[in-house]
Copies of this chain bind each other. A is one copy, B any other.
Amino acid sequence: MARTQGSHSDITGPRIMDAALRLFAQNGYAAVSMRQIAGAVGVQAGALYNYIPDKQTLLLTLMQRHMDDLLSAVADHPRPEGAMNRLEAFTRFHIRFHSERPDEVFIAYMELRNLNPENFATIEGLRGRYENMLEEILRQGVEEGVFAVPDPKIATLAVIAMLTGVNTWYRSGGRLSLPEVEEIYWDMVRKSVAA
């Protein structure tokens, strides 16, 4: 341990991202110093700048990676027939995906204020694309006559807020298993938009 010189370590880059992710989620972007991140990785603060241009870009990269992962995963997810089946697939996907990445989700919601305007617009654009997928499902269900929502845009935000709320209390190994959580929330989502 306690290396003092030389490039004895590869994969420092990913370790920086991991440490920043964890520390930002725990203490908040503004409250975490570059020295803290460096300490968690086991290097001096100056060494971080071999991998990232600055702190702001580090935050943006973490958020962007999360949103890209989300959009890739939802695109890869099977897309069943019928709005009801699609809504169920979306609900279960959302809960599972988000419960597996509590730190990323926390940062993506809580640290938007700390993005500069350009970076904020980037992330909000990605989030909008995800929300539009649910909105499309709801509109399809209204057309099919299986859903009754007076305002699909608002219903989208309501459902996503409810589902993302799982992350505020769910802990792996707690009272409820993830399949049980999925079941409870799917029951509520289904009924909330039902015709």
Contact = CB atoms under 8 A, between A and B. Distances in A.
Interface of A: 26-28, 30-31, 110, 113-114, 149-151, 154-155, 157-162, 164-165, 168-169, 176, 181, 183-185, 187-189, 191-194
Given A110-B110, A114-B28, A114-B31, A158 B162 contact: yes
A103 to B, nearest CB: 13
Contact of A158 (B114, B150, B165, B176): B165
Given A26-B113, A154-B169, 5 more contacts: A28-B28, A30-B30, A159-B162, A161-B161, A192-B192
A169 B124 CA distance: 13
A187 to B, nearest CB: 7
Q: For chain A, what secondary structure do more than half of its interface residues adopt (helix, strand, loop), or is it mixed?
A: helix
Contacts of A110: 110
Most B-side CB within 10 Å, residue of A155, A183, A192, A193: A192
B165 A161 contact: yes
Given A30-B31, A168-B157, A189 B187 contact: no
Contact of A154 (B151, B155, B158, B184): B184
A55 to B, nearest CB: 12
Given A154-B176, A157-B168, A162-B161, A192 B188 contact: yes
A110 B187 CA distance: 29
Q: Rank and list the top 10 A-B pairs by shortest CB-CB distance, nearest first.
A: A161-B165, A30-B30, A192-B192, A30-B31, A162-B162, A188-B192, A191-B191, A158-B162, A191-B192, A161-B162
A187 B164 CA distance: 20
A161 B150 contact: no
A151 B165 contact: no
A116 B153 CA distance: 38
